[in-house]
């Protein structure tokens, strides 16, 4: 009964990045700007892909899914952090914390799966171009995405069900700006051996297979490019992979940085700062990487913004004509 009461009454305090009152407005403005840029950038990618027929291909279908996942990923943590900074509060409810952990695991896992799927798509496009449309067909694209959601849904759910068995103090401090699974497990009062084992196994499997898929795909791509005689063909083939390689490097590089900072320094401040790169900077930079390095996306964004501007101009002109007509009648 005591354990149940501890769990039901638990409230977590997210200590955040700094306790300095003068720094809070700066952090609020910085994180709000990063959040708005991330959401706007990823939504523009989704709109460009869905509205432009030139981008109705498997690669851009996966890219729009990645943009959707990145938007959801950053929306899981930043709005609550902004509310806490604005309200000068640090609390988050027990269920709110579990919800954050669940969706963070799910969207981070989806990122790894989608990056691996895009690598496979590039492998088939470059190494088997004549069979590309047969292999990467709409049915397979939908199946890959749905299978990824299905797997990560159940893996995340298992972790949350195991976490529900843990007990915490009535008020528990988490030295972070969001409920990260590893940090929550550190402050649990009950034994976390089982969930740690499950966490390490799931991380190893879900991390190992996507990384192995990415490495295999690019090893085959490099081997295929080495066999090409045309320099222009090599450049054109590899340029289609440049954006994806940048995103993969950024995603896994920042993730590794978070792990190393927490393992080497044992400083909660260093770990929280490193997590900003992983949880906020990476989703924010992805749209810029794909739009700046990809002519098709840049062209689609240009056409989308041109249509939006022309519609706005047409509506403004109609309103002015209506106002002018009303004045003439007066």
CATH topology (fold) of 22-298: Rhopdopsin 7-helix transmembrane proteins (1.20.1070)
- Among residues of the chain, what percentage have pLDDT more than 70? 84
Per-residue model confidence (pLDDT) at position 2 = 43
Q: List, for residues 104-145, the tens digit of each pLDDT value.
A: 999 999 999 999 999 999 999 888 888 988 999 999 999 999
The residue whose two tokens read 């649990």 is 188
- Burial class, 25, CB count within 10 angstroms (exposed 0-12 / middle 13-18 / buried 19+): exposed
Question: Is 307's pLDDT higher than 80?
Answer: no
pLDDT per residue as tens digits for the range 57-89: 898 899 999 999 999 999 999 999 898 888 888
C-alpha distances out from residue 22 to 14, 26, 209, Å: 18, 8, 45
Average pLDDT over residues 80-106: 88
Per-residue pLDDT, 320: 54
**Contacts of residue 107, Cβ cutoff 8 Å, sequence gap at least 6:** 69, 70, 72, 73, 76
Q: Would the pLDDT of 1 be above 60?
A: no
Tokens for 36? 């708005």
pLDDT for res 270: 61
CB under 8 A, 24+ apart: contacts of 61-65: 61/141, 62/114, 62/117, 62/118, 62/121, 62/141, 62/145, 63/118, 63/290, 65/114, 65/145
Tokens of 225: 């490019």
Q: Residue 113 has what pLDDT? A: 94
How confident is residue 7, by pLDDT bands cut at 50, 70 and 90?
A: very low
On average, the pLDDT of the chain sits at 82
pLDDT score of 291 = 74
Instruction: Read off the pLDDT of each residue in 37-59 and give the average, rounded to a whole number.
Output: 88
Query: Which residue in 98, 37, 100 sits closest to 71, CA to CA?
Result: 37
Burial 297-323 (b: 16+ CB within 10 A, else e): beebbeebeeeeeeeeeeeeeeeeeee
Q: Render the burial of 70-82: b for 16+ CB within 10 Å, e for the rest.
A: bbbbbbbbbebbb
Mean pLDDT of 275-298: 80
Domain boundaries, the chain: 22-298
- Identify the CA nearest to 85 among candidates 172, 177, 217, 6: 177
């Amino acid at each position: 009964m005591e354990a149940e009461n501890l769990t039901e009454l638990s409230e977590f305090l997210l200590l955040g990045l700094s306790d300095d009152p003068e720094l809070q407005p700066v952090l609020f403005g910085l994180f709000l700007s990063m959040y708005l840029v991330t959401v706007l950038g990823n939504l523009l990618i989704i709109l460009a892909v869905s509205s432009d027929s030139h981008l109705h291909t498997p690669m851009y279908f996966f890219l729009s899914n990645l943009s959707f996942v990145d938007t959801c990923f950053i929306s899981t943590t930043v709005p609550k952090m902004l509310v806490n900074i604005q309200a000068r509060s640090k609390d988050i409810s027990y269920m709110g914390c579990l919800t954050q952990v669940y969706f963070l695991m799910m969207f981070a896992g989806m990122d790894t799966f989608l990056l691996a799927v895009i690598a496979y798509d590039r492998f088939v496009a470059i190494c088997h171009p004549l069979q590309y449309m047969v292999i990467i067909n709409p049915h397979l694209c939908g199946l890959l995405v749905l299978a990824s959601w299905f797997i990560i849904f159940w893996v995340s759910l298992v972790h949350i069900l195991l976490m529900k068995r843990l007990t915490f103090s009535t008020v528990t401090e988490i030295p972070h700006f969001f409920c990260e699974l590893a940090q929550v497990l550190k402050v649990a009062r009950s034994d976390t051996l089982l969930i740690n084992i499950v966490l390490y196994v799931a991380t190893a499997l879900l991390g190992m297979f996507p990384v192995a898929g990415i490495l295999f795909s690019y090893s085959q791509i490099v081997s295929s490019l080495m066999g090409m005689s045309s320099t222009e063909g090599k450049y054109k083939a590899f340029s289609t992979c440049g954006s994806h390689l940048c995103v993969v490097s950024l995603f896994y590089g920042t993730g590794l940085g978070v792990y190393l900072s927490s393992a080497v320094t044992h400083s909660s401040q260093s770990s929280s700062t490193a997590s900003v790169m992983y949880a906020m900077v990476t989703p924010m930079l992805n749209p810029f990487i794909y739009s700046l390095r990809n002519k098709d996306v840049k062209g689609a964004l240009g056409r989308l913004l041109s249509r939006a501007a022309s519609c706005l101009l047409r509506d403004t002109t109609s309103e002015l004509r209506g106002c002018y007509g009303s004045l003439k009648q007066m």
